[in-house]
Amino acid sequence: MPYPVYRPRRLRESPLVRRMVRETRLSVDDLMYPLFVVHGRGVREAIGSMPGQFRLSIDELQKECKDAASMGIPAVLLFGLPQEKDPRGSEAYAEDGIIQQAVRAVKETIPDLLVVTDVCLCEYTSHGHCGVVEDGRIKNDPTLDLIARTAVSHVEAGADMVAPSDMMDGRVGAIREALDEASYPETPIMAYSAKYASAFYGPFREAADSTPQFGDRRSYQMDPANSVEAMREVALDVDEGADIVMVKPALPYLDVVARVKGEFGLPVAAYSVSGEYAMIRAAGHLGWLDEERAMVEALTGIRRAGADIIITYFAKDLARLIEQGRA
């Protein structure tokens, strides 16, 4: 036996060769940028647990969206903080709710940016749950109507796509039916299909003021230990009319991303959530790791696992690096 004919290091020696044989590339085309919108004017309020992210009033949101679009980022994902919360989350589906106003403003001023809206009640309900509460329980079917109304109101305001994140059973079907009835058969649904009950949402709940006031979300979000169940969730959403399916969070669930990509022929989105962002930012801030390299490596891993769309708070940072040829 001669010395091994195949020497993997041959292709690692030169940066140019490495560039040519690289299997996974990050592109700005894959990015979706989540943003938080609040009432008011001139508001740009830093979110403590998410350095570099802000709660923005609509005028500031427009600036941020213009910036993102000018960097080539194709889409934003909007989350709203209402003026007032109530048990049924009324502002979520109000015609002049924060998201409805924000969508109109962004679509008017930045037409070449996709505006995707998170469809959920938890930021709008006084109890902080994603569904209607009766007798201390989160009710599934009474929630569906409110979720569907929310989605229709977003699309009426001009949203290009809706993204339900509540994890109620049957919500994709309910939204599809409501959109079709309202003459929006062309509007796609990106379903948070496999959304886990995750500790990594912690910083987001501070940002969106959506911490449940009692109990937790384990009766509707998935058990982190399950992946066969994730396939059932995705299959249901596909049957109900989902156009894009999502796995969330991303990093602790890359096996689920790969499985969904392998088993279903649909575009897959992975949401690299607030806790993933905060970990990298915090360790970078402390000098415990190289933040920029950690960010690129984490997002490359998500892409390599099979995600077509990466939802990330690092969208602008990454777009900048890609433009400079550093990612």
Residue 12 tokens read as 């690692």
Burial of 170 (0-12, 13-18, 19+ CB in 10 A): middle
Residue 107 is a catalytic residue: no
CB of 202 to ligand PBG, least distance (A): 7
**Of 100, 117, 150, 274, the one binding ligand PBG by CB under 6 A:** 274
Show the binding pattern over residues 203-232: x = contacts ligand PBG (CB under 6 A), - = does not.
-xx----x------x---------------
**Of 165, 187, 193, 312, the one binding ligand PBG by CB under 6 A:** 165
CB of 198 to ligand PBG, least distance (A): 8
Burial of 326 (0-12, 13-18, 19+ CB in 10 A): exposed
Task: Say if residues 262 and 277 touch (Cβ distance below 8 Å).
Answer: no
CB of 311 to ligand PBG, least distance (A): 8
Please give the Cα distance from 58 to 204 (Å, whole number). Answer: 19
DSSP per-residue string spanning 14-26 = SHHHHHHH-----
CB of 115 to ligand PBG, least distance (A): 16
Task: Say if residues 146 and 93 touch (Cβ distance below 8 Å).
Answer: yes
Residue nearest to ligand PBG (CB): 204
Show the binding pattern over residues 113-132: x = contacts ligand PBG (CB under 6 A), - = does not.
-----x-x-x-------x--
CA 77-175-86 angle, to 5 degrees, is: 70
CB of 69 to ligand PBG, least distance (A): 21
**Of 201, 220, 253, 314, the one binding ligand PBG by CB under 6 A:** 201
Of these residues, 66, 107, 248, 316, which one is catalytic?
248
**Residue closer to ligand PBG (CB basis): 80 or 173:** 80
Of these residues, 85, 195, 261, 316, which one is catalytic?
195
**Residue closer to ligand PBG (CB basis): 87 or 182:** 87
DSSP per-residue string spanning 135-175 = TTEEESHHHHHHHHHHHHHHHHHT-SEEEE-S--TTHHHHH
Residue 66 is a catalytic residue: no
The dihedral through the CA atoms of 153, 154, 156, 157 has a sign that is positive
Between 228-240 and 171-181, two packed helices, what is the crossing angle to 10 degrees?
10
Which of helix, strand or coil describes residue 223? coil
Show the binding pattern over residues 6-35: x = contacts ligand PBG (CB under 6 A), - = does not.
------------------------------
Please give the Cα distance from 314 to 73 (Å, whole number). Answer: 11
Q: Which residues of the chain form contacts with ligand PBG (CB under 6 A)?
A: 118, 120, 122, 130, 165, 201, 204-205, 210, 217, 273-274
Q: Could you give the residue numbers annotated as active site?
A: 195, 248
